[in-house]
Amino acid sequence: MTSPEFAGGPDPNPPTPAATVVCLRPGPAGPEVLLLRRRSKGAFGGMWVFPGGKVDPEDWGPGDDEVAAGRNAAVREAAEEAAIVVDPATVVTLSYWLPPPEAARRFSTWFYLAPVLGEDPIVLSQDEVGDHRWEPPAAMLAAHAAGEVQLAPPTWMTLHWLAGYRTIDDALAAAAGSEPERFLTRAVISDDGQLVSTVWEGDVAYDDLDLDPGRPGPRRRLEVRRGAWVALLDPVPEGS
């Protein structure tokens, strides 16, 4: 399984391979996820994200493809950033994300799910992470809608997907039973340089980025409304 080229030909701005792990633990109201707030410096500064980072040379084992190397990186990053122990045998591939070519910093990222006990104390990598929280996915989405937290589109979409499952086992089974969803992102930018929407393949506007609300056709995008992400997805994912 390999990452695709950007629509229209070879990628003019090659991204850095990366991996992200969504750590899941049982909570009183259902699954909870671990989120880390990045420090203001560096990529995703100030945002709440899942543990993750670049795929390093040592993450590649003999015969590994990029999904296997990404899994190794995800396990390593969970330990380095939060002292979370992830059993590689329990890790399930969820999705693949590729930012648009015009993005200043690009990471070609595989997302993984991993169940954890959630009982060990979190020890943060102080140079990268400023805070952490365990939250039900729906609670984190509500905090974003209220303007309390910043979420990047991949984080928002992953939380949105997870909110449709009542148990960790259900989410893991759903991810394991389907091909990883791929998000080759195109961005709509306003005249003053603000991000208006992220659009993915399958959306009627993917080729021309015409967001006319009256235009017929399927939607597969996020739009910024009142400072928060709003999903336009067709068909609507299960549980939304």
Per-residue pLDDT tens over the stretch 157-210: 999 999 999 999 999 999 999 999 999 999 999 999 899 999 999 999 999 999
Q: In the structure encoding, which two tokens stand for residue 87, read together?
A: 């059993």
The H-or-E segment that residue 144 falls in is helix 137-145
Looking at residue 36, its pLDDT comes to 93
Q: What is the mean pLDDT of residues 104-111?
A: 92
Residue with tokens 């996820």: 33
Rounded CA-CA distance 27/168 in Å is 10
108-119 per-position pLDDT tens digit = 999 999 999 877
Q: In the structure encoding, which two tokens stand for residue 28, read together?
A: 């009183």
Cα–Cα distances (Å) from 149 to 36, 121, 199, 233, in that order, read 11, 23, 22, 22
Rounded CA-CA distance 77/50 in Å is 10
The CA-to-CA distance between both ends of the chain, in Å, stands at 28
Domain map (residue ranges) of the chain? 16-184, 186-240
- In this predicted structure, the answer to whether residue 121 has a pLDDT above a threshold of 90 is no
Rounded CA-CA distance 19/76 in Å is 10
Burial class (CB in 10 A: 0-12, 13-18, 19+), 222: buried
CATH number of the domain at 16-184, out of 3.10.20.30, 3.40.50.300, 3.90.79.10, 3.20.20.70?
Answer: 3.90.79.10
72-87 per-position pLDDT tens digit = 999 999 999 999 999 9
Q: Write out the E strands in the chain.
A: 16-27, 30-38, 48-49, 52-54, 92-98, 107-115, 129-135, 181-184, 186-189, 195-199, 220-225, 228-233
Looking at residue 57, its pLDDT comes to 97
